Amino acid sequence: MPITITDIIEAHKRISFRINRTPVLTSSQINSLVGAKLFFKCENFQRVGAFKYRGATNAILLLPKEKLAKGVATHSSGNHAQALALAAREIGVPAYIVMPSNSPKVKIDAVRDYGAEITFCEPNLKARESTLKRIVSETGAEFVHPYNREEIIAGQGTAALELLSDYPELDVVLAPVGGGGLLSGTAICSKGINPSIKVYAAEPKGADDAHSSFYSDTLVPSTNPKTICDGLLTSLGELNYGYIKQYVDDILLVEDNEILSAMRLIYERMKIVVEPSSAVVLAAVIRYKKLFADKNVGLIISGGNVDLQSFFDSYKAKL
């Protein structure tokens, strides 16, 4: 049965003592720049630095007892890996993570620090899936898909639930779309609370499979995506597609250079560290200004796990 706002409320009760209630920040400078009132739900301050911790925690807590002890497994190059690793450790079960060998070092280190067992594979979907299959059959661990799973979607929807409980007067809610876990959770939640709220997705033009799928009658897979948003490279999930078709009003495409400018605005004006996949929502507000004029707009800032090596290298050069 499809999930509803009730599942998201239940998920929130289940996970609320394990997650951070992240702050909602505003910037009068950015507001006057875009001509709207923006409310940034800062999941970069979530545990592991991304909203993914919500879904992972919810999914693990919903496993049947006999499954639980055997642990969880997934393939992910990014935030889902960290989230599942930490959630598993906190709940006291093993986590097995398959990571592409070219994953950013900062993410590999984080997964290892959270105590997960990492297996590296070739950086392609086939290798990831076959390696994961082997791990699952060897360990009996439960595969927790990063987005194509009801419990994950319900968990991710809890960010919007908090945002709308803090700011019930929002006219619009915006979330980035990659696999669609955050977006479908956000849309189910927002429309469930107030059917007249507009829900938009923001997507990089170089990885526009959600946009293509949205405007066709079938799921269009992501082929050869190219964007600085490393969290949004993946194809939309089957389940997510259904919810997005039902609840999302539109998918707004933006260019990478627009995402970069929006990201810089966030760093310089708001003094917070966000990853490119998060800045895509502000880029959409700036590009499609008219859609948001004078509105109260909620933006889900998905995470802050970004590789700062070049920044610190430039300082080291000065020592």
By three-state DSSP, how is residue 136 classified? helix
Owner of token pair 């859609």: 291
Is residue 142 within 8 Å of 73, Cβ to Cβ? yes
Q: How far apart are CA 284 and CA 292, in angstroms?
A: 10
Token code pair at residue 258: 């627009």
| CA 240 to chain CA centroid, nearest Å | 13
Q: Which is nearer to its own copies, 17 or 312 (CB)?
A: 312
Smallest gap, in angstroms, from Cβ of residue 301 to its own copies? Answer: 10
Determine whether 37 is an active site residue: no
In angstroms, rounded to a whole number, what is the distance separating the alpha carbons of residues 212 and 207? Answer: 10
Tell me the three state secondary structure of residue 306: coil
Catalytic member of 27, 37, 41, 52:
52
Least distance to its own copies from the beta carbon of 211, Å? 20
Q: What sign for the dihedral angle of Cα 284, 236, 61, 189? A: positive
List contacts with its own copies (CB under 8 A): 23, 44-45, 49, 106, 228, 256-257, 260, 263-264, 267-268, 271-274, 276, 304, 308, 310-316, 318-319
Structure tokens at 28: 């009068």
Known catalytic membership, residue 77: yes
By beta-carbon proximity to its own copies, the closer residue of 151 and 230 is 230
Closest distance of CB 231 from its own copies, Å = 14
Instruction: Point out the catalytic residue in the list 77, 213, 235, 302.
Output: 77
Cβ at position 191, least distance to its own copies in Å: 29
166: Cα separation from own chain's centroid:
20
Residues 6+ apart with CB under 8 A from 226: 206, 207
In the complex, minimum distance from the CB of residue 311 to its own copies, in angstroms, rounded to a whole number: 4
Judged by CB, which is closer to its own copies: 23, or 140? 23
∠ CA(246), CA(212), CA(281), 5° rounding? 75
CB of 306 to its own copies, least distance (A): 9
What element of type H or E holds 39? Answer: strand 37-42
Nearest to its own copies of 124, 310 (CB atom): 310
> Which two three-digit tokens encode residue 193?
């609370």
Helix (H, G, I), strand (E, B) or coil at 311: helix
Question: In 3D, which of 209, 76, 89 has the Cα closest to residue 147?
Answer: 76
Closest to its own copies by CB, 78 or 180: 78
Tell me if 192 sits within 8 A of 2, measured CB to CB: no
The answer to whether residues 273 and 46 touch, using CB atoms and an 8 Å cutoff, is no
> Which CB sits closer to its own copies, 17 or 294?
17
Nearer to its own copies, 236 or 265 (CB): 265
Tell the residue number behind the tokens 């993410």, with chain if given.
107
The minimum distance between CB 276 and its own copies, in angstroms, equals 7
Active site residues: 52, 77
